[in-house]
Amino acid sequence: MSTRTMPVVRVPATDTAAALLLDWLIRDVLPAALDGGAANHASVRLRTLPPISHRHIRSPRKLRVHARRVGDTIAAIEDQIRIRAVSVDAERALARPTIVLPDPVLNAAASIGGAMMDIGSSSAALAYRALLLVPATIESEEAAFSTQVRVIDSYCALLTRLWHSDFQASIVIPPPIEP
Q: What is the pLDDT of residue 2?
A: 43
For the segment 59-78, the average pLDDT, to the nearest whole number, is 92
Contact 23, 52 (CB under 8 A): yes
With a cut of 60, say whether residue 134 has pLDDT above it: yes
Q: How confident is the model at residue 29 (pLDDT cuts 50, 70, 90)?
A: very high
Classified as helix, coil or strand, 37 is strand
With a cut of 50, say whether residue 126 has pLDDT above it: yes
Q: How confident is the model at residue 175 (pLDDT cuts 50, 70, 90)?
A: low
For the segment 81-98, the average pLDDT, to the nearest whole number, is 63
Give Cα 112 distance to the centre of its chain. Answer: 10
Q: What is the pLDDT of residue 3?
A: 45
Report domain extents, the chain: 3-172
Query: Is the pTM of the predicted complex or chain greater than 0.95?
Result: no
Instruction: Could you list the beta-strand ranges (E) of the chain.
Output: 8-10, 170-172
